[in-house]
Amino acid sequence: MLDLIAADKRFGLTYQPDHQNQGSSAQLAPEAKVETDNQPGANTFDRLLHAAQARFTGSLSPASLTLAYLDWGLHLANAPGRQLELAEEAGRQWARLASPTQWAKPKPEDHRFQDAAWSQPPFNFIAEAFLLGEEWWRDATTGLPGVAKSHADVVSFAARQMIDMFSPSNFPWMNPEVLRATVGQSGWNFVKGERNLSEDVRRTINHEPMDDAGSFVVGKDVAVTPGKVVLRNGLIELIQYAPVTDEVRAEPILIVPAWIMKYYILDLSPHNSFIHYLVSQGYTVFCISWRNPGPEMRNTGFDDYRQLGVMAALDEVEAICKDAPVHACGYCIGGTLLSIAAAAMARDGDNRLASVTLLAAQTDFTEAGELQLFTDESQLALLDDVMWKQGYLDSKQMAGAFQMLRSNDLVWSRLIKTYLLGEREHPFDLMAWNADATRMPYRMHSEYLRDLFLENDLAEGRFMVEGRPIAISEIKLPIFSVSTETDHVAPWHSVYKIHLLNQGDITFVLTSGGHNAGIVSEPGHPHRHYRIARRRPGEAYLAPEDWKKAATNEEGSWWPTWVAWLDERSPFRVAPPSLGAPDKGYAPIADAPGTYVLES
Which DSSP string do the residues of 111-178 spell out, in sequence order? -TT-SGGGGSTTHHHHHHHHHHHHHHHHHHTS--TTS-HHHHHHHHHHHHHHHHHT-GGGSTTT-HHH
Strand partners for 533: 508
CB 396 within 8 A of CB 183: no
CB 220 within 8 A of CB 430: no
CA distances for 340 relative to 272, 303, 377, angstroms: 29, 10, 24
DSSP state of 524: T
To the nearest 5 percent, what fractions of the chain are helix, strand and coil? 50, 15, 40
CA distances for 139 relative to 125, 133, 145, 507, angstroms: 21, 10, 13, 38
User: Residue 56: exposed, middle, or buried by beta-carbon count in 10 A (0-12, 13-18, 19+)?
Assistant: exposed
H or E stretch covering 28: strand 26-28
DSSP state of 374: G
Helical ranges in 210-290 per DSSP H:
274-280
H or E stretch covering 327: strand 326-331
Strand partners for 328: 254, 356
H or E stretch covering 230: strand 227-232
Q: Whats the size of the chain, residue-wise?
A: 600
**332 is annotated as an active-site residue:** yes
CB 352 within 8 A of CB 321: no
446 closest CA partner among 401, 495, 379: 379
CB 394 within 8 A of CB 71: no
Residue 207, amino acid: H
Residue 454: other Cβ atoms inside 10 A: 16
CB 132 within 8 A of CB 102: no
Residue of 287, 321, 329, 332 marked active site:
332
Beginning with the edge strand found earlier in the chain, give each strand of the sheet holding 529-535 in spatial order.
552-555, 529-535, 506-511, 479-484, 353-359, 326-331, 253-256, 285-290, 236-241, 227-232, 590-591
481 closest CA partner among 505, 512, 448: 505
Q: How many separate helices (H) and strands (E) can be counted in the chain?
A: 22, 19
Residues annotated catalytic, as ranges:
332
